[in-house]
């Protein structure tokens, strides 16, 4: 009886070692870990995906390597594969990676009308205001396609901006759109991800010059950011208050 028991244990050990050896051989000679990971994500095999990531597969494989620098997340978002997108994001994929033409996962998904993916990425802090290669953001695509629920979702999220700046420039007195002006105020913001600065608002003003002193007669005197930074309330010298979308 003891010999039979020993024989069974011995057989189990041999079987386990053989299985591990075969698995190692397949990993060494077959597709790479990254390729296997992409295949698992595409088919929605979550446990296999997690195991491959644990073994060393890179969820951002392909960043900067192909002609357009696509990552697996970008491909999944473009193709509309929500399960794959969820797997990549939940395992640490960089959601705001921009390929050669400026597209991110969320702008690809918005352009292709994969709104379930857009919603998922927005909830996971994707920057929905980064413009794509056509200068359009996920917000622009939502407006163009009449997706009011997505516009509302975007406006409920804090604008992913890091810094605001107001500048001014004085001009010779002239008339613009029927208004006399000799100064313009510019509202700038810097993107947290790219570090790029862009002007989002330009407002005219009129000042009286009196020696070294200048008195503002018309134009903005205060900027107040509201609605999670998605809008700015501007207070004017004449008491008017206007709100502008950013």
The pLDDT tens digits of the residues spanning 165-220 come to: 788 888 888 777 777 888 888 888 775 545 667 777 888 888 886 655 567 778 88
Give the helix ranges, DSSP H, for the chain. 2-29, 33-43, 46-55, 72-79, 82-90, 105-111, 115-123, 138-144, 148-155
- More confident of the two residues 179 and 28: 179
Buried residues in 104-135 as b, exposed as e (16+ CB within 10 A): bbbbbbbbeebbebbbbbbeeebbbbbbbeee
Q: Which pLDDT belongs to residue 66?
A: 47
Is residue 3 scored above 70 in pLDDT? no
Alpha-carbon distance of 136 to 182, in angstroms, equals 33
Cβ–Cβ under 8 Å, residues 161 and 192: yes
* Nearest alpha-carbon partner for 190 in 217, 226, 229, 219: 229
Q: Which pLDDT belongs to residue 36?
A: 85
CA distances 40 to 61, 86, 121, Å, are: 14, 13, 20
Q: pTM of this prediction? A: 0.55
Q: Which pLDDT belongs to residue 81?
A: 93
Most confidently modeled of 23-32, 88-97, 123-132, 178-187? 88-97
Domain coordinates in residue numbering, the chain = 1-30, 33-155, 161-245
pLDDT above 70 as % of the chain: 74
Cβ–Cβ under 8 Å, residues 221 and 236: yes
CATH class given for the domain over 33-155? mainly alpha
Burial class (CB in 10 A: 0-12, 13-18, 19+), 194: middle
- More confident of the two residues 231 and 96: 96
Is residue 117 scored above 90 in pLDDT? yes
């Amino acid at each position: 009886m003891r010999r039979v028991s020993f024989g069974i244990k011995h057989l189990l050990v041999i079987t386990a070692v053989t299985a591990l050896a075969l698995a190692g051989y397949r990993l060494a000679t077959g597709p790479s870990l990254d390729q296997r990971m992409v295949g698992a994500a595409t088919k929605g095999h979550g446990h296999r995906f997690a195991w491959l990531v644990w073994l060393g597969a890179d969820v951002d494989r392909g960043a900067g390597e192909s002609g357009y620098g696509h990552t697996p997340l970008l491909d999944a978002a473009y193709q509309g594969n929500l399960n794959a997108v969820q797997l990549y994001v939940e395992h640490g994929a960089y959601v705001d990676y921009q390929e050669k033409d400026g597209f991110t996962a969320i702008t690809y998904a918005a352009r292709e009308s994969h709104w379930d993916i857009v919603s998922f990425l927005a909830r996971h802090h994707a920057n929905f205001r980064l413009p794509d290669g056509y200068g359009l953001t996920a917000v622009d695509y939502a407006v163009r396609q009449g997706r009011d629920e997505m516009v509302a979702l975007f406006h409920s999220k804090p604008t992913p901006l890091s810094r605001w700046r107001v500048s001014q420039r004085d001009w010779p007195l002239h008339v613009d759109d029927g208004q006399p002006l000799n100064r313009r105020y510019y509202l700038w913001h810097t993107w947290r991800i790219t570090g790029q600065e862009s002007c989002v608002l330009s407002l005219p003003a009129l000042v009286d010059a009196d020696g070294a002193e200048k008195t503002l007669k018309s134009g903005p005197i205060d900027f107040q950011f509201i609605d999670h930074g998605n809008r700015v309330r501007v207070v004017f010298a004449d008491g008017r208050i206007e709100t502008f979308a950013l």
